[in-house]
Amino acid sequence: MSYLFTSESVSEGHPDKVADQISDALLDHFLAFDPESKVACETLVTTGQVVLAGEVKSNTYLDVQTIAREIINKIGYTKGEYQFSGDSCGVISLIHEQSQDINQGVDRGSKEEQGAGDQGMMFGYATKETENYMPLALDISHKILQVLADLRRELKEIDYLRPDAKSQVTIEYSDGNVPQRIDTIVISTQHDAFDQDDNAMLAKIKKDIISILIPRVKAQLPKEIQALFDDQITYHINPTGKFVIGGPHGDTGLTGRKIIVDTYGGKGAHGGGAFSGKDPSKVDRSAAYAARHVAKNLVAAGVADEILVQVSYAIGVVEPTSIFVDTYGRANVDLTDGEIAEKVSELFDMRPFAIEKRLKLREPIYLESAAYGHMGKANKMVTKVFESPYNGRIEKEVELFTWEKLDMLDEVKAAFKL
């Protein structure tokens, strides 16, 4: 019997994502001017206010207010009627120095002996059902909102859109775990107040979403995925009615509240640790990226059609406490999951500093990950510019999404005799 599976995404203007982007913008600036910075920066956004808190150990000083305002304006909160604007909101900084009790377990005489910044377990996941080895429902959910944001900025006929939005996609699968069709698409998007009545307003929004947005999303997908869109899809567009009040005015936002959106949309597993605002000494972030790197290379190499990788740590301890692999019975090699995990531990150095070095995580690369998912995006080189009244101007070429590189295929294939 077929079954349904659902994933959701949220836009860059969702309050929690606004908070994530501010936290990661601050992290990038700290790393740009001092790559050895230790950062755990939390952000709260609400009506007309931004509160920054957390612990930092760095040799640089930042104008955190300006950085926060620039991010808010870039997202699109630029008008007074939003009750939250980069030009007018208050920004309160409560950031203080990192605890020495924590730092002593991380910093060592030799960088190779750097301990994990915290205990915990982290997961990486990959599946063959999409070209980027991500779960299909989440991949489509992300694309819907990325295209919606592009339309908000580009098209005058739908310039009524505001930054806050959510999407949800339900896929029908066969017993053999093969996507059959898209069953339901849910989109809630913030919008300007209309002069016409609510019913006419909602009808226009639904028409624009189905006739303008969805075709653009389909055009970005491979032919076999486009075929999953049929005339029987159930659409719920702004199902509660009008959505004028939104963003941080409608709902307080906090860093790290969208961890399932950030990873695999409910597929696989999640260890519970958030990413944004944390430097790579925090294994919540770096080891989750490393586990994704492992899982993606294993699936791409043909070890399994779907795989989950877990790694765990103790604070201040160099070596992982465990590495676990689950192939869901879909392995293509004559090895148990435990034997696959043993080979993973031989192929991939999962010590914290080794992860930082292998994936180039001490670079200012994190803002780009703070909306529309940390996993599944294209690895690429970009030039980023950072300016500070205290540190001057820095222009850096950096490599984004290094954990998405398929750079271990030869080694994996050799180890597994593929």
| Residue corresponding to tokens 């950062």 | 39
Whole-angstrom Cα distance, residue 30 to residue 36?
Answer: 9
- Residue 243 marked ligand-binding: yes
- Residue 251 marked ligand-binding: yes
* Tokens of residue 271, six digits: 């260890």
Torsion angles phi and psi, residue 327, rounded to 5: -100, 5
| Residue corresponding to tokens 């009506």 | 47
Helices then strands, counting H and E runs in the chain, come out as 13, 13
- Residue 396 marked ligand-binding: no
Count Cβ atoms below 10 Å from residue 231 Cβ, excluding itself: 4
- Residue 274 marked ligand-binding: yes
Indicate the DSSP class of residue 171.
E
- Residue 98 marked ligand-binding: yes
- Residue 236 marked ligand-binding: no
- Cβ-Cβ contacts under 8 Å for 300 (sequence gap 6 or more): 126, 133, 406, 409
Q: Determine how β-strand 90-97 pairs with β-strand 49-57.
A: parallel
- Residue 183 marked ligand-binding: no
Torsion angles phi and psi, residue 318, rounded to 5: -75, -50
Q: Helix or strand or coil: residue 141?
A: helix
Dihedral sign for Cα 20, 22, 25, 26, please: negative
Dihedral sign for Cα 326, 278, 258, 143, please: negative
Q: Helix or strand or coil: residue 273?
A: coil
- Residue 282 marked ligand-binding: yes
- Cβ-Cβ contacts under 8 Å for 298 (sequence gap 6 or more): 126, 304, 307, 309, 340, 344, 412
- Residue 14 marked ligand-binding: yes
- Residue 165 marked ligand-binding: yes
- Residue 192 marked ligand-binding: no
**Residue 382's beta-bridge partner residues?**
398
- Residue 204 marked ligand-binding: no
- Residue 417 marked ligand-binding: no
- Residue 275 marked ligand-binding: no
Annotated binding site for ATP: 14, 164-166, 242-243, 251, 257-258, 274, 278
Annotated binding site for K(+): 42
Annotated binding site: 14, 16, 42, 55, 98, 164-166, 242-243, 251, 257-258, 274, 278, 282
Annotated binding site for L-methionine: 55, 98, 251, 282
Annotated binding site for Mg(2+): 16
